[in-house]
């Protein structure tokens, strides 16, 4: 009896072990179902295209909504989206978009030109206080309406000429305008859905919840489990559904990069959001093709709150910036080929590289920093209050913050208290100016210097440094009104010099994108904005 029971037990164990050996990973199962499992950084702050500002949110919104144009998956060249074609006036100021007949909302209703007019009115409504509202300022009277100077939206340069024809009139010819339209701030929203859940300018609205969200992108919002996953599935009403080969996408937040990398290796995700720096070298040495490193149009920087003493003094800001060992940070912490930054806009952004820059000679910089701090009345940091440095949760952000805390304490005698907050809380305090020094990063919304330099104009909702320079503002406006390309770049050179002199932000390094991609993922192309339109992406497991 005992022997028979033992034999049965051995058989059961063998079957269990065999079952375990044959068990599919989530990636293997998802390959069969054409469901992409994508790590997506932090939990998104929201899914309202008029209120968010991050890359995390951008990745999801491109699945749920689409604008007049969309970027080419490889070149990012603007391609027809909701608009099947457009005409441009001889002076480059008036764009007439012709919407396609088969462009529908995810509830089957046709998309109309008036939906775009509604979306732009909402985005520019003063009460909504959209941080990205300035991206719409190229339109006639958009800034005046957003600031409350003008209250009649019919005077803003956007009109629905008929249900399928939209006209946008610009202040000046804007060479990058079509590329600008690929950004989610220009996406339409469904007016009845907005009104069903509140007023046009209501910030706290439930319209973006699953079951409420009506979009027009290649996917629909099915599930949102906070700090777990956001699930989207293929939209049967999307006009280009034949070229959407995935049946769905799961966006998965990871606060810990090591856990994310382990999830990739164990077949839990197809694509990582990033990779721990100490893991890059082993992947490179092994020749692992999953590792993707490519140029990325972005700047990692620290913003100084210029409204708070002593950071209202440019000498203090310059001293703090110069005392940062950028080469040490990129060599010992980030370790993925990031370029130490001694000016704000990434080099060769649409032909622009700042001529004004500071030296990367750390010894000389520290000597100059000490001189500036003493000149400002704080020799060796004496009399300067402890500064608060705010950063959002991330191992790499923490490591950089700790290194800079050490630089400032050891070289200048400046004491710094580090404050770590999760993404949503960090965004609130960033917006409200509850910091002295802020960890920040800016990824270009389009390939033009204005996407970086406009950021520090006084009217920009993303000007976290609260920098207010009439001379700088005048140059940014002049650049927007300058049609000659060479003359425009020269105006930007003058603006770049002001940023070096005033130092409202301390650029640390220029980004590269470094992440992991499972070989099953096809149609995923590297580009300088790290944007990946959904057309043509599919899962083909290696044979």
295 pLDDT band (50/70/90 cuts)? confident
Average pLDDT, the chain: 93
Domains and CATH numbers, the chain: 66-192 (3.90.76.10), 296-513 (3.10.105.10)
Whether the Cβ atoms of residue 95 and residue 138 lie closer than 8 Å to each other: no
Share of the chain above pLDDT 90, in %: 88
- When pLDDT is averaged across residues 362-377 and rounded to a whole number, the result is 97
Q: What digits encode the pLDDT tens for the residues 473-495? A: 999 999 998 888 899 999 999 99
Give yes or no for residue 6 having a pLDDT over 80. Answer: no
Q: Is the pLDDT of residue 219 over 60?
A: yes
pLDDT of residue 483: 82
Residue among 61, 85, 62, 83 nearest 73 (CA): 62
pLDDT of residue 3: 39
87: three-class secondary structure by DSSP? strand
> pLDDT, tens digit, for every residue of 414-457?
999 999 999 999 999 999 999 999 999 999 998 899 999 999 99
Query: pLDDT per residue over 490-542, tens digit each?
Result: 999 999 999 999 999 999 999 999 999 999 999 999 889 999 999 999 999 87
What pLDDT is stored for residue 440 in this prediction? 96
Q: What is the pLDDT of residues 301-345, one digit of tens each?
A: 999 999 999 999 999 999 999 999 999 999 999 988 999 999 999
The rounded percent of the chain whose pLDDT value lies above 70 is 96
3-state SS record for 421-478? ECHHHHHHHHHHCCCCEEEEEEECCCCCCHHHHHHHCCCCCCCCCCCCCHHHHHHHHH
Q: Write down the pLDDT at residue 183.
A: 95
Residue 27 pLDDT exceeds 80:
yes
First-to-final CA distance of the chain: 48
- Specify the pLDDT at position 484: 87
H or E stretch including 97?
Answer: strand 94-99
Counted residue by residue, the chain has a size of 543
Average pLDDT of the segment spanning 35-61? 95
Q: What is the pLDDT of residues 248-264, one digit of tens each?
A: 999 999 989 999 999 99
DSSP H helices, 205-299, are: 257-265, 277-285
Does residue 1 surpass a pLDDT of 60?
Answer: no
């Amino acid at each position: 009896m005992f022997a028979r029971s033992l034999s049965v037990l051995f058989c059961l164990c063998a079957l269990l072990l065999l079952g375990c050996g044959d068990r599919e990973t989530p990636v293997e199962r998802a390959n069969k179902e054409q469901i992409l499992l994508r790590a997506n950084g932090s939990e998104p702050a929201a899914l309202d295209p008029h209120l968010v500002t991050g890359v995390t949110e951008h990745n999801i919104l491109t699945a749920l909504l689409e604008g007049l144009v969309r970027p080419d998956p490889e070149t990012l060249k603007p391609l027809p989206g909701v608009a099947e074609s457009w005409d441009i006036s001889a002076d480059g100021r008036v764009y007439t978009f012709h919407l396609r007949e088969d462009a529908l909302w995810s509830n089957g209703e046709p998309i109309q030109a008036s939906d775009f007019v509604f979306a732009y009115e909402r985005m520019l409504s003063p009460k909504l206080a959209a941080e990205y509202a300035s991206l719409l300022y190229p339109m006639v009277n958009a800034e005046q309406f957003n600031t409350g100077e003008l209250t009649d939206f019919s005077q803003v340069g956007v009109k629905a000429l008929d249900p399928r024809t939209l006209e946008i009139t610009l202040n000046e010819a804007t060479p990058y305008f079509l590329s600008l339209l690929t950004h989610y701030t220009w996406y339409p929203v469904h007016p009845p859905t907005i009104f069903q859940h509140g007023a046009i300018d209501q910030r706290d609205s439930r319209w973006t919840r699953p079951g409420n969200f009506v979009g027009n992108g290649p996917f629909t919002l099915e599930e949102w489990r906070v700090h777990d996953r956001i699930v989207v599935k293929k939209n049967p009403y999307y006009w280009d559904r034949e070229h959407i080969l995935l049946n769905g996408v799961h966006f998965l937040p990871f606060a810990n990069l090591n856990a994310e990398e382990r999830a990739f290796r164990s077949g839990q995700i197809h694509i990582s959001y990033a990779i721990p720096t100490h893991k890059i070298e082993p992947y490179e040495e092994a020749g692992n093709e999953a590792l993707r490193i490519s140029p990325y149009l972005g700047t990692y920087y620290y913003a100084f709150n210029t409204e708070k003493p002593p950071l209202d003094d440019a000498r203090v800001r310059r001293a703090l910036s110069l005392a940062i060992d950028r080469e040490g940070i990129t060599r010992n912490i980030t370790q993925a080929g990031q370029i130490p930054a001694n000016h704000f806009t990434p080099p060769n952004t649409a032909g622009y590289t700042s001529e004004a820059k500071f030296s990367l000679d750390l010894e000389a910089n520290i000597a100059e920093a000490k001189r500036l701090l003493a000149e400002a009345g704080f020799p060796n940091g004496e009399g300067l209050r402890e500064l608060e440095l705010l950063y959002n949760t991330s191992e790499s952000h923490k490591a950089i913050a700790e290194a800079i805390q050490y630089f400032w304490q050891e070289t200048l005698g400046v004491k710094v208290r580090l404050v770590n907050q999760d993404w949503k809380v960090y965004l609130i305090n960033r917006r409200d100016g509850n910091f002295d020094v802020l960890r920040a990063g800016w990824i270009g919304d389009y390939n033009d210097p204005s996407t970086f330099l406009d950021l520090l104009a006084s009217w920009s909702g993303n000007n976290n440094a609260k920098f207010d320079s009439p001379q700088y503002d005048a140059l940014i406006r002049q650049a927007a009104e300058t049609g000659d390309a060479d003359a425009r770049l020269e105006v930007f050179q003058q603006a770049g010099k002001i940023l070096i002199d005033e130092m409202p932000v301390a650029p640390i390094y220029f980004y590269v994108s470094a992440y992991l991609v499972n070989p099953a993922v096809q149609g995923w192309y590297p580009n300088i904005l790290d944007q990946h339109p959904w057309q043509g992406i599919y899962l083909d497991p290696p044979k």
